[in-house]
């Protein structure tokens, strides 16, 4: 009997530990799957809103594009490309579709923390209010291309923004520089990084008249919604890693010359007006810098539980809002 007691005692100890481990199981995969499900619903809701004209800035982008095409027929191909953002064919909507699909494969992320954070961010990025605010950038690009004939939205004037931030006027379209939906930072043979537009957006090169160098843009850039408000939500982990790599390379190059180089997001720019409550409470753009080894959570997870956010979203969708 004396020999059996330790074995029985050990059995119950192991059983207790096992039950506790089971009760404390990792629920992150379940949360990721739930966020993906809710994001799929939001994407459908966003698609409906774009197609039915419920997003004010999408409607303005269509109207502005039609007006500017008549005013400047030579810009028609570029304007037509910008107008795609008022539809589900635009690069921003398509990026959200891809990011939501990528969540199904854990191999796309360095760990579960990064995967969950991305799930939360894509979920937030598909909020119609945030997305409507994000559309202010292409709307304002078209407004600037009109040479003042069309008014900017959610932003102070081009001249006022330059004065407030001490920024350089890189020309119409500069709001899109740095946004991975429209181009990327590339390095030439000398190691200098410059902005390379995708596809038809390369027509902006004729507007800018000279390449935009990363080092100059970083210290002299003006305000844009993406770079100063929406970057946290509208950047995938892979895109953020690429941005961080460009920054580190430039910083290292400057250091070799005995110079200091600050991140383009170290100093916030002012210029936003009439943004939604969701945008006003968004994390700072500087917090988006993520390296391949970083672990991060969105600010949303710090302010409310997943369960509460899920139930509110489900109720909102069921009401059709």
pTM: 0.82
- Under DSSP, the state recorded for 288 is G
Q: How confident is the model at residue 210 (pLDDT cuts 50, 70, 90)?
A: confident
Q: How far apart are the C-alpha atoms of 185 and 173, rounded to whole Å? A: 16
- Under DSSP, the state recorded for 202 is G
- Predicted pLDDT at 6: 56
Q: How far apart are the C-alpha atoms of 249 and 256, rounded to whole Å? A: 11
Q: In this structure, are residues 164 and 182 in contact, taking their beta carbons and an 8 Å threshold?
A: no
Give the pLDDT confidence of 232-283 residue by residue, as tens digits.
Answer: 999 999 999 999 999 999 999 999 999 999 999 999 899 999 899 989 887 7
Instruction: Give, in degrees to the nearest 5, the angle at Cα 95 between 155 and 316.
Output: 75
Instruction: Give, in degrees to the nearest 5, the angle at Cα 151 between 149 and 155.
Output: 145
| Average pLDDT over the chain, rounded to an integer | 85
Q: Is 193 helix (H, G, I), strand (E, B) or coil?
A: strand
- Burial (CB < 10 A; 0-12, 13-18, 19+), residue 49, is middle
Which of 134-143, 203-212, 253-262 comes out lowest in average pLDDT? 203-212
- Burial (CB < 10 A; 0-12, 13-18, 19+), residue 130, is buried
Query: Of 313, 125, 73, which is closest to residue 230 (Cα–Cα)?
Result: 125
Evaluate if residue 293 carries a pLDDT over 50. no
| DSSP bridge partners of 194 | 186, 213
| DSSP bridge partners of 160 | none
Say how far residue 194 (Cα) sits from the centre of its chain: 20
User: Considering all CA atoms of the chain, what is the largest pairwise distance in Å, rounded to the nearest integer?
Assistant: 98
Which of 23-32, 131-140, 211-220 comes out lowest in average pLDDT? 23-32
Query: Tokens 């139930």 identify what position?
Result: 311
Evaluate if residue 227 carries a pLDDT over 60. yes
More confident residue, 5 or 301: 5
94-103, long-range: CB < 8 A, 24+ apart: 95/180, 95/181, 95/234, 95/236, 96/39, 96/43, 96/122, 96/125, 96/126, 97/43, 99/236, 100/36, 100/39, 100/40, 100/43, 100/126, 102/236, 103/32, 103/35, 103/36, 103/39
Q: In this structure, are residues 283 and 298 in contact, taking their beta carbons and an 8 Å threshold?
A: yes
Task: Report the pLDDT averaged over residues 219-230.
Answer: 96
- Under DSSP, the state recorded for 221 is -
Structure tokens, 200: 């038809």
Q: In this structure, are residues 186 and 211 in contact, taking their beta carbons and an 8 Å threshold?
A: no
Give the pLDDT confidence of 71-111 residue by residue, as tens digits.
Answer: 999 999 999 999 999 999 999 999 999 999 999 999 999 99
- Predicted pLDDT at 283: 76
Structure tokens, 87: 């539809």
Q: How many Cβ atoms sit within 10 Å of the Cβ of residue 154?
A: 23
């Amino acid at each position: 009997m004396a020999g059996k007691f330790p074995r029985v005692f050990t059995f119950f100890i192991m059983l207790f530990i096992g039950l506790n481990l089971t009760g404390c199981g990792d629920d992150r995969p379940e949360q990721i799957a739930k966020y993906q499900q809710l994001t799929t619903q939001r994407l459908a809701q966003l698609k409906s809103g774009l197609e039915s004209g419920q997003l004010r800035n999408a409607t303005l982008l269509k109207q502005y594009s039609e007006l500017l095409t008549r005013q400047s027929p030579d810009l028609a191909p570029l304007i037509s490309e910008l107008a795609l953002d008022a539809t589900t064919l635009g690069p921003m909507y398509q990026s959200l579709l891809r990011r939501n699909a990528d969540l199904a494969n854990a191999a796309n992320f360095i760990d579960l923390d990064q995967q969950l954070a991305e799930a939360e961010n894509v979920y937030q990025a598909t909020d119609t209010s945030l997305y409507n605010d994000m559309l202010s950038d292409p709307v304002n690009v078209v407004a600037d291309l009109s040479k003042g004939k069309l008014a900017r939205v959610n932003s102070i004037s081009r001249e006022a923004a330059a004065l407030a931030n001490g920024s350089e006027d890189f020309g119409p379209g500069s709001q899109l520089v740095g946004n991975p939906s429209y181009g990327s930072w590339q390095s030439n043979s000398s190691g200098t990084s410059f902005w390379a537009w995708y596809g038809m957006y390369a027509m902006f090169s004729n507007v800018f008249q000279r390449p935009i160098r990363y080092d100059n843009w970083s210290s002299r850039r003006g305000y844009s919604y993406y770079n100063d408000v929406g970057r946290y939500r509208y950047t995938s982990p892979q895109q953020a890693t690429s941005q961080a790599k460009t920054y580190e390379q430039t910083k290292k190059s400057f250091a070799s010359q005995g110079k200091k180089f600050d991140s383009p997001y170290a100093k916030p720019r002012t210029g936003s007006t009439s943004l939604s409550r969701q945008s006003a409470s968004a994390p700072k753009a500087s917090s988006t810098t993520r390296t391949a080894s970083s672990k991060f959570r969105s600010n949303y997870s710090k302010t409310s539980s997943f369960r509460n956010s899920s139930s509110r979203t489900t109720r909102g969708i069921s009401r059709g809002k």
